[in-house]
């Protein structure tokens, strides 16, 4: 019923010669929307999603330990100048934090390997026990 009404409207528009005009206006609107979309995508790529230049690698440790160590060194220098200590701390916290992070990373890797091996042995023993119980 509604399809017949739609085809009737289309036939009436065809007889009056308005359908080509509607088609042309629709194509114009589609082209404008397409160009607006392309412009928005271009602007977003130029501003928010631009390709950043690669960062220079940090000299010691990773980026977090280097930044945190540098901040602690700045605070240390501030306190040395503020209180004028006779024996200032000459230790660089960048190197200390890098060493601590490296040790923690190695410990975590060895623990994860050990836990993986332990879980593998546990599952093999559980499988053996289940097979033993099922066959008895």
Distances (CA, A) of 40 to 30, 36, 46, 48: 15, 6, 10, 11
Q: What number of other Cβ atoms are within 10 A of residue 61's Cβ?
A: 20
Looking at residue 1, its pLDDT comes to 53
Looking at residue 7, its pLDDT comes to 75
Q: Return the exposure string of 31-40: e unless at least 16 CB atoms fall within 10 Å of the residue's CB, then b.
A: eeeeeeeeee
Looking at residue 21, its pLDDT comes to 79
Looking at residue 113, its pLDDT comes to 78
Looking at residue 86, its pLDDT comes to 77
Q: What number of other Cβ atoms are within 10 A of residue 68's Cβ?
A: 15
Looking at residue 56, its pLDDT comes to 80
Q: For residue 58, report the phi and psi dihedrals to the nearest 5 degrees.
A: -75, 150
**The residue to which tokens 């332990």 are assigned:** 118
Looking at residue 98, its pLDDT comes to 93
Per-residue model confidence as pLDDT tens digits over 97-112: 999 999 999 988 887 7
Q: Which residues of the chain have pLDDT under 50?
A: none
Looking at residue 127, its pLDDT comes to 94
């Amino acid at each position: 019923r509604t399809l017949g009404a739609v085809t009737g409207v289309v036939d009436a528009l065809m007889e009056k010669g308005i359908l080509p005009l509607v088609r042309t206006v629709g194509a114009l609107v589609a082209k404008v929307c397409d160009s607006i979309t392309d412009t928005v995508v271009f602007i977003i790529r130029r501003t928010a999603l631009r390709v950043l230049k690669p960062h220079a690698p940090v000299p010691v440790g990773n980026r977090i330990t280097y930044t945190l160590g540098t901040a602690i060194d700045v605070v240390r220098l501030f306190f040395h100048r503020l209180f004028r200590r006779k024996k200032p701390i000459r230790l660089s916290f960048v190197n200390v934090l890098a060493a601590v992070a490296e040790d923690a990373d190695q410990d975590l890797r060895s623990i994860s390997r050990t836990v993986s091996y332990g879980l593998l042995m546990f599952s093999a023993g559980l499988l053996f026990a289940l097979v033993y119980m099922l066959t008895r």
